[in-house]
Amino acid sequence: MAKQYATFAGGCFWCMVKPFDEMPGIESVVSGYTGGHVENPTYEQVCSETTGHLEAVQITFEDTLYSYEQLLAVYWTLIDPTDAGGQFYDRGESYTTAIFYHNEEQHQLAEQSKADLAASGKFQQPIAVKILPASPFYPAETYHQQYYKKNPMHYERYAVGSGRQAFQAHHWGKQ
């Protein structure tokens, strides 16, 4: 099959890149903005909570090497799926969670994975992740791309200080 896209919003996009970045079949992971009504928004605009955009990553992948189902399984371990107000330290609409599907197969797989997580009993509250049709994706500014490689010490402090790593360890074990 041809290359496909997967688009996930999971709070701060810095923390969403590294887990996907070096998996087999992953061509690229781009930080950006999607789901809103402003064309080519800037980081400052998105943070102002006036654009409707969420911080997200768009993954280009070869599904014969790494399936969409596998990407979904990783996605769930990166977020607090019960938090509708943002993720960890970051609050507000632009930091909320969503799976943006690119075709009907992805839509069905995303819905099924959400239902499976809800039925698993792993979380006591309802799963708050939205599943939405993909909309235009706007790459974030260059300094946001591959942030974990460019600024490894700050990235690590952020991942720990935001509470994300502790949450992941508690619910999913050591990542």
Active-site positions read 12
For the chain, the C-alpha Rg in angstroms (whole number) is: 15
CA–CA distance, 124 with 126 (Å, rounded to integer): 7
CA–CA distance, 86 with 88 (Å, rounded to integer): 7
Taken as a whole, the chain contains a residue count of: 175
Do 51 and 36 contact (CB within 8 A), yes or no?
Answer: yes
